Every structure is written in structure tokens, then in C-alpha cells.
Amino acid sequence: MDTQSPPHFSITTVNRLDDPSLRAGLEHLLTDAVASGASVGFHAPLDPARNAAFWDDVASAIASGGLRLLVARDGAGRVIGAVQLALSPKQNSPHRADVQKLLVLTDQRGRGVATALMNALYDLARSLGRNLLELDTRAGDFGEPFYSRAGWERAGVLPGHTLEADGSFHDAVMFCRRL
């Protein structure tokens, strides 16, 4: 599925992570997100080996069919954003999926990249028969108001869900969205 977004970038579904320039762009994207304080499962500074291992895991999950990856690129082909859709493998939840790792380069934020990625993700989820999406974000983080504005329903709070590099714990807000 290729979805043309506003003229300054495009969004594609990535089915393989064997292109070295794509991998480098995704690794840079994750490094940038972690360095900017995004709560995406890693502490800054992000170790390059941990970054590469993460994308190896993503590649395996894509290959097994359990994960879909959408990537936003600017007109020059530079990776500027990405989001993942993890399909529930459970027999009682073929209608459900988790949204993971919505990432946008810091120099591209506020330009509609995250919204376009999410809209493409909704279309992809629907095409896969998924009508309930779930995600979590750190309470008070910049993701929380974004998801609220985008029509996500706050489902609750998980106290002390993340452990930060300084030893403090942060709550996570759970969101869901019916398509």
C-alpha cells in the first residue's frame, strides 16, 4: 500500500528491512527520538548495537507477518517518520492491533507527518480486518495530547509503567481507538 500524503512527503508500507539506506534512516530516526526525550523503550544516549538489534527484531516480526511498518520519506527519500502496527496473534482478538513506535524526526515535527502516518495506519488496519487499536504513551509526554486530539479514547493509567535512566518511574496512559 502506498499512500501519497501532502506533497512534501510520502508514506509507504515497508515489507523488508534489507535496504542499507532504509536501515540507516530508521536507526537515525530512533536515535533522534530517544535523544529528544521520546519514551519509546530506550534511554539516551541510545547504544548503536541496541538500536541495530531493535531493527533486527522489527525485520523478523515483519517477515513473520506479525508486524507492519509504515515509513514516511521526504522528497529526497530521507526517512522522516515511521509507525508500527503489531497484529494480535490471539484467537480471541483477530480484530485488534497495537500501535507502536510513532516516530518523527525532531526537525519535521509540526508538519503533519505524525497525523499522516496515523491516517495511513488506520487504513492499513482496516484493510487487515482490525477495528480496535491500542497504544500507550508516557503520561505528560507530547504524545498524550496528540492522541487525545486525534480522537483516541483514554482507557486508563498504568502507574510506574516505565523506569527512566535516572531511576524514576513514570505512569503510562493507555489509549484505544475504534475504527
Three-state SS for 26-52 is: HHHHHHHHHHCCCCCCCCCCCCHHHHH
Residue 6, pLDDT score: 46
pLDDT tens track for 61-117: 999 999 999 999 999 999 999 999 999 999 999 999 999 999 999 999 999 999 999
> Does residue 80 fall inside a structural domain?
yes
Q: Which residue has the cell 503489531?
A: 86
Distances (CA, A) of 141 to 37, 146, 168: 9, 9, 15
pTM above 0.85, yes or no: yes
> Does residue 125 fall inside a structural domain?
yes
Residues 159-165, mean pLDDT to the nearest whole number: 94
Distances (CA, A) of 145 to 112, 135, 151: 15, 13, 10
Beta strands in 15-152 (DSSP E): 67-74, 79-87, 96-104, 132-138
What residue type is 159 in one-letter code? P
> Does residue 165 fall inside a structural domain?
no
pLDDT tens track for 110-156: 999 999 999 999 999 999 999 999 999 999 998 999 999 999 999 99
> Does residue 89 fall inside a structural domain?
yes
Say yes or no to pLDDT of 5 above 60. Answer: no
Residues 153-161, mean pLDDT to the nearest whole number: 97
C-beta of residue 120 within 8 angstroms of C-beta of residue 102: no
Residue 83, pLDDT score: 98
Residue 138, pLDDT score: 95
Say yes or no to pLDDT of 1 above 60. Answer: no
> Does residue 154 fall inside a structural domain?
no
Domain encompassing residue 50: 2-135
Number of domains in the chain: 1
Residue 171, pLDDT score: 97
Give the dihedral of Cα atoms 136, 149, 117, 69; nearest 10 deg. Answer: 10
Pairing mode, if any, of strands 153-163 and 96-104? unpaired
Tell which residue, 124, 179, 127, 122, has the closest CA to residue 153: 179
> Does residue 41 fall inside a structural domain?
yes
> Does residue 143 fall inside a structural domain?
no
CATH of the domain at 87: 3.40.630.30
Residues 16-32, mean pLDDT to the nearest whole number: 97
